[in-house]
Amino acid sequence: MMKGKIIGVSLGPGEPELITLKALRALEAADVIYCPATYGADGKEKSRAWDILRQLPVDGTKIRTFYLPMSRKREEALAAYDGVCEEMLRLAEMGSTVAITAEGDAGFYSSANYMYEKLSRAGYPVNLAAGVPAFIAAGASVGLHIVKGRERLVVIPGDVLVEELLEAVVAKRTLVIMKVPLGEAILRPFIVRHPELKYHYFEQVGTPDEYHTTSPEKILSRDFTYFSILVIQPS
Ligand code: SAH
């Protein structure tokens, strides 16, 4: 029997218009679209991917949401991924075209990366349809030129070390910090100690809850949310 294929589809950061034509066409061509979701602390289901998908011209009956436990126990999340991968492989074996959605770009800090590796080992290398990463959309949303000329850019997740931050400052690199809440304990005192640097803090780019500020005081007054990005530029 002819086998199907599995595609990793980037949805962009939140604003439905920021999906690429290629990714949208991949969704249209897919027989089944897998969409990750989690349960928030309030017990409600949450899915950024679903929030974006439902604003796109995509047949809703093709969408299957799968739940990832947000627990810190990685084994639980991996077990959830394993189950979904088996389902996808069964469908692909039957000849279906399966899409796995990811917010932003599917190959940029995407948690689906574990699934891509597993599917690839099972004989289904996942082709990725590129997308706009959130930090690029964040810059554009306020007309920020993230790096110019020969400036250097470092993108890191929030679990930073003070040394890493200081090294970037000394080398005059621009820092893009993802998953900001991971670094609260380091980032808050760093911002207080370094008023000479330029900061751009973004939340929920491309959604109705979008927020941006350059004021260190305002940044410090925020409860950092998962969907936030901090850009630190040399003065
Ligand atoms: N694949 C995504 C990144 C996933 S990692 C991309 O290409 O952008 C999740 C992190 O991405 C979040 O912690 C946050 O730092 C960032 N992020 C994703 N979407 C965002 C949005 N709409 N607004 C602000 N930050 C976002």
Domains of the chain by residue range: 5-129, 134-233
Alpha-carbon span 153 to 139, nearest angstrom: 13
- Closest residue by CA, ligand 1 atom 13: 179
Q: What is the enclosing helix (H) or strand (E) of 35? A: strand 32-39
**Separation of 101 CA from ligand 1 center, angstroms?**
14
**Separation of 228 CA from ligand 1 center, angstroms?**
7
Cβ atoms within 10 Å, residue 185 = 10
pLDDT digits (tens, 9 = 90+) for 19-65: 999 999 999 999 999 999 988 778 888 899 999 999 999 999 999 99
Alpha-carbon span 61 to 13, nearest angstrom: 23
Three-state SS for 202?
A: strand
Lookup: tokens for 225: 């949310």
**Separation of 107 CA from ligand 1 center, angstroms?**
12
Superfamily of chain region 134-233:
Tetrapyrrole methylase, C-terminal domain (3.30.950.10)
Lookup: tokens for 87: 């389902």
Pairing of strands 5-10, 127-129: parallel
Q: How confident is the model at residue 2 (pLDDT cuts 50, 70, 90)?
A: low
With 0.85 as the threshold, say if the pTM is over it: yes
CATH number of 5-129: 3.40.1010.10
% of the chain exceeding 90 in pLDDT? 88
User: What are the CB-based long-range contacts (under 8 Å, 24+) for 200-203?
Assistant: 200/138, 200/142, 200/144, 200/230, 200/231, 200/233, 201/228, 201/229, 201/230, 201/231, 202/138, 202/141, 202/142, 202/228, 202/229, 202/230, 202/231, 203/227, 203/228
Please check whether residue 92 is in contact with residue 98, taking contact to mean a CB–CB distance below 8 angstroms: yes
**Separation of 204 CA from ligand 1 center, angstroms?**
8
Q: Which residues contact 75 (CB under 8 A, 6 or more apart)?
A: none
Most informative mutation of 178, 184, 213, 231 for ligand 1 (most atoms within 8 A of CB): 178
**Separation of 138 CA from ligand 1 center, angstroms?**
10
Which atom from ligand 1 is nearest to the alpha carbon of 179?
13
Please name the amino acid found at residue 108: F
Pocket of ligand 1 (CB under 6 A): 13-14, 102-105, 108-110, 133-134, 178-179, 202, 204-206, 226-229
Name the nearest CA neighbour of 103 among 157, 139, 26, 50: 50
**Separation of 90 CA from ligand 1 center, angstroms?**
30
- Taking 90 as the threshold, does the pLDDT of residue 234 lie above it? yes
Mean pLDDT of 103-122: 94
pLDDT digits (tens, 9 = 90+) for 126-155: 999 999 999 999 999 999 999 999 999 999
